[in-house]
Amino acid sequence: MSTVWRVADVVDVRAETPSARTIRLRIPGLHGHLAGQHVDVRLTAPDGYQAVRSYSIASATGANGVAEDELELTVEELPDGEVSPYLVHGLMVGGQLEVRGPVGGWFVWRPTDTGPVQLIAGGSGVVPLMSMARAHAASGSAAPFRLLYSVRTPESGFYRGELEHLSRDAAAPLSVDYVYTRTAPAGAATPPGRLTADALSAAVVPAAESPTFYLCGATPFVETVSGWLVDAGHAPERIRTERYGGIGGAS
């Protein structure tokens, strides 16, 4: 982990949804990152006021053209946020950000981990899990990988095209299941509604296979789902969780 603040150059931006955007940063002195880590971002106003927020890394080193000194963040705008509106709508290629990190060593996946993995995301909680899915594909890992993704509507989901592509990757396939809470796509087998304990049990890797879970989302979602997993017989020590927020909260 680097505890030093560094100036990162914005080398690419692209929209994920109308309210979310992916930002690629080039950071001098960065030598790769682990799938699941995050960085702190600091903005300083002209009057000296500073705001610091933590954002999960979406990229995997070496995947999708991401160099060792680069990483990508996917940021969703919060209506009352201090930082996210600028990152989503104001920051442009050629701009700069102060960053610190990468941070984290527990909520990470490494290609040397060979056991089955179950990713569970609520909304923008898919961001660090996407880093893991990309690292899994880039490494050609044979570890079974599944993603259960709860989103409000098909249009609000991140990385839709890439997730579909990863699900067809013959070398390292990713099994993807969606739960739509507000509006389901035409022809969906299941009507929209919140995830239930029964639906969760039917969709995830069985406890008998001893999967490692990576669960990320809003705090109520994470607490509810992790409780259901324990009730279904999954070992608590194999359930790794990450919640929205960080230093000062995510905004």
Write down the domain spans for the chain. Answer: 3-101, 115-242
Give backbone dihedrals phi and psi of 229, rounded to 5 degrees, phi first. -65, -45
Length of the chain: 251
CB 81 within 8 A of CB 251: yes
The highest-level CATH class for domain 115-242 is alpha beta
C-alpha to C-alpha distance for 71 and 15, rounded to whole angstroms: 16
Handedness of CA 54, 55, 61, 65 (dihedral sign): negative
pLDDT 10s digit of each residue in the chain, 251 long?
A: 568 999 999 999 999 999 999 999 999 999 999 999 999 999 999 999 999 999 999 999 999 999 999 999 999 999 889 999 999 999 999 999 999 999 999 999 999 999 999 999 999 999 999 999 999 999 999 999 999 999 999 999 999 999 999 999 877 789 999 999 999 998 888 899 999 999 999 999 999 999 999 999 999 999 999 999 999 999 999 999 999 854 333 33
d(CA 138, CA 115): 17
Could you tell me which CATH number the domain at 3-101 has?
A: 2.40.30.10
Q: Residue 149: which of 170, 174, 173 has the closest Cα?
A: 174
Question: Tokens standing for 177?
Answer: 């299941």
**How many beta carbons lie within 10 A of that of residue 187, not counting itself?**
5
The whole model's pTM is what? 0.94
Q: Which residues does 140 contact at the CB level (< 8 Å), separation at least 6?
A: 171, 172
Dist CA 206 CA 215 (whole Å): 16
